[in-house]
Amino acid sequence: MTLATSFKPASRSTPGLDELRTFVELEADLLDEQRFTDWLALYAEDGAYWVPAKHGQQSWLDHVSLFYDEKVTMTTRVQRLQHPMIHCQEPRSRCVRVLSGFRLEQGDAELYRVSSKFVMLEDRPGAERRVFGGRYLHALRRRDDSFEIVQKRVELTNCDQSFPMLTQPF
């Protein structure tokens, strides 16, 4: 089953947590289905995807990060993930993300901050199963009749460990 790539909130008024959760779950489903171009389209032109490498890291400027991608870098990452000869994805990973514990951390007319907890399983034939977990922090704003991701911060519980070949977005 293929999911719709767009999400339309019930109204232009302040969205409820259910609407925001549905949008965040759509993002996870697109990643699970490896629909990376559709995933990228959810991000604002000034959007960023950030995975800190240190607990409590306040900025991507003062400490190395596992990922810090702005839209142009994300576009390159998606092109690599879709390339038929990406050696670190042969065979390709199969992932599933489970999300729970959604909270609206902050909301105003411009920006909605939603936190959630996640577990991600990554399976590749011939490789050991990898399990990642932590917390997502999404900063969302309205775009037409939907939302766009201004920033997605992924706080891994084990962010300070070594990870060989991180290719799949969390």
pTM for this model (two decimals):
0.85
Distances (CA, A) of 17 to 45, 48, 127, 128, 165: 24, 22, 38, 36, 35
Spell out the domain ranges in the chain. 17-156
pLDDT, position 43? 97
Phi, psi of 81 (to 5 degrees): -65, -30
pLDDT, position 3? 43
pLDDT tens digits in sequence order for the chain, 170 residues long: 344 444 444 445 678 899 999 999 999 999 999 999 999 999 999 999 999 999 988 888 888 888 899 999 999 888 887 776 666 666 778 999 999 999 998 767 789 999 999 999 999 887 789 999 999 999 999 998 889 999 999 999 999 888 877 888 89
As given in the structure block, the two tokens for residue 127 are 């490789």
CA distance 15 to 11: 7
pLDDT, position 12? 53
Q: Out of 3.40.50.1820, 3.10.450.50, 3.40.50.720, 1.10.490.10, which CATH number does the structure's domain 17-156 have?
A: 3.10.450.50
